[in-house]
Amino acid sequence: MPARQGSYKCKAHSIFVSHGWTLVFTVVQNFGTVVPLVNKNYDCKCAVANDVCLPGQWHFKFNPTKRFYLKRSKKGHDIKVKGEVHYRSDFGKYKRIC
């Protein structure tokens, strides 16, 4: 299996820690796209709030559930969830959670 293009550069700089993250940043920047995450607010709760309901509004009780099943819908746009309280039971139904 051939080596990747960036592996030769990484082997040439065997000690990244002494030079800090600037060396790692420049090596990665030469072989890919770097997106700086400074001054950007990535909040997963706000991003998911419009698509997923709170667990108290789901069609099964969230706390006692031991197994969660995820299933993609036929169209591929929605994900349906089923929760089972016991490990050996299979009584729940797949439904959307929003």
Say whether both 72 and 86 belong to one domain: yes
CA distance 51 to 48: 5
Burial class (CB in 10 A: 0-12, 13-18, 19+), 22: exposed
User: What integer pLDDT is reported at residue 16 of this predicted model?
Assistant: 47
Structure-block tokens of residue 65: 């559930």
The β-bridge partners of 70 are 81
78 with 69: CB under 8 angstroms? no
Whether residues 67 and 35 share a domain: the answer is: no
Torsion of CA 58, 61, 67, 71, to 10 degrees: -20
Say yes or no to pLDDT of 7 above 70: no
Predicted pLDDT of residue 3: 52
Q: What is the pTM of this model?
A: 0.48
Q: Are residues 66 and 85 in the same domain?
A: yes
Residue 23 shares a structural domain with residue 2: yes
Structural domain that includes position 17: 1-40
- Same domain for 65 and 83? yes
Measured in Å, how far apart are the chain's first and last C-alpha atoms?
46
Same domain, 48 and 27: no
**Paired tokens of 60:** 């099964």
* 49 and 16 housed in the same domain: no
| Residue reference for tokens 């072989």 | 31
How many independent structural domains does the chain possess? Answer: 2
Q: Which residue has the higher pLDDT, 50 or 95?
A: 95
Whether residues 63 and 84 share a domain: the answer is yes
Q: Which token pair is 54? A: 């709170």
Shared-domain flag, residues 32 and 57: no
Instruction: Tell me, yes or no, whether 21 and 51 share the same domain.
Output: no
For the cut 50, the answer to whether the pLDDT of residue 1 exceeds it is no
pLDDT tens, residue by residue, 27-76 = 777 777 777 666 666 777 777 777 788 888 888 888 999 999 989 878 77
